[in-house]
Structure 1
């Protein structure tokens, strides 16, 4: 499941983002696509992935640690609680968040997930840890997810900027 869940979250975000954009107002606007992709990335790769990681680290710490190639640790509770906060913030940002709130979610996700991704890279380089929870899709989505949120927010801002006279 550790291998497939990040892929499924991203697939759902992309498919639903495109489908909801196509169902939107006519004529089609790239800004609608950006808005919908941002909403569904916040919902699935940030929100639901955060809640999934929370449940794994808090309620199933031995299995979560094994999937990463680590021994269980008391720190998993703290990691799980951080994931809970990011997940809930992602869900709020998907439906109720202002651009500023969404940017804050992206920055926090970049700090936490990007830091986790760097930690995974160090583990791969130093110990050869290729466990699916360390070197699988989660490794890539640790970087992709927050960068996508922040990148889409930047594009969204550029679309909303009035044209220079």
Structure 2
């Protein structure tokens, strides 16, 4: 399941590149990548995580190495739902909406990564959901989003300067 969201993101990128092939420039290409990551990885991926933490809470807790039944897990689910909604709304809203979405996503996921690392250090929690792929994604996804956003803003400013 881990590879489904990157695969769907790549497919959306390809679809949008083909659809927009006549108007492609550096800014448009970066926009397509950023939009795809926001909608799929942040949007749909976060809603998927919300569903897991809400409707398969005991299994997800076991995967992360947490005790089942904590009310905090539903709070984590709702935080994921929030970013899922923001990611999907990124299809319609642009500009500073993207910036705000990425800032919030970064704060939450880097905070979650810190929590997982502290759980590993303090409680020797080496469960795959605590220190495996989810931890790496908590760190890497915000970096990818920040790089794409900065590149997009720079290419947008460069395009405005040329015109």
Please indicate, yes or no, whether the TM-score normalized by the shorter chain is above 0.5. Answer: yes
The one-character-per-residue Cα deviations of 1:71-98 (angstroms, maximum 9, x if unpaired) are 12111111111111111111111x1122
Shift of 1:22: 4.2
* Separation (CA, whole Å) in 1 of partners of 2:4 and 2:52: 17
Question: Which residue number in structure 1 is paired with residue 161 of structure 2?
Answer: 163
2:114 aligned with 1:121: no
The one-character-per-residue Cα deviations of 1:40-60 (angstroms, maximum 9, x if unpaired) are 111121011111111111222
* Separation (CA, whole Å) in 1 of partners of 2:65 and 2:146: 30
Which 5+ residue runs of structure 2 have no aligned equivalent? Answer: none
**RMSD of the alignment, in Å?**
2.0
Work out which of the residue numbers 75, 83, 87 in structure 1 matches 2:84.
87
Shift of 1:66: 0.5
| Count of matched residue pairs | 160
Question: Which residue number in structure 1 is paired with residue 127 of structure 2?
Answer: 131
Question: Which residue number in structure 2 is paired with residue 108 of structure 1?
Answer: 104
* Separation (CA, whole Å) in 2 of partners of 1:100 and 1:43: 15
Shift of 1:28: 4.3
Shift of 1:11: 2.7
Shift of 1:131: 1.9
2:74 aligned with 1:77: yes
Change in CA separation of 1:17 and 1:65 when aligned onto 2, cut-off 3 Å:
same
Question: Which residue number in structure 1 is paired with residue 21 of structure 2?
Answer: 25
Shift of 1:30: 2.5
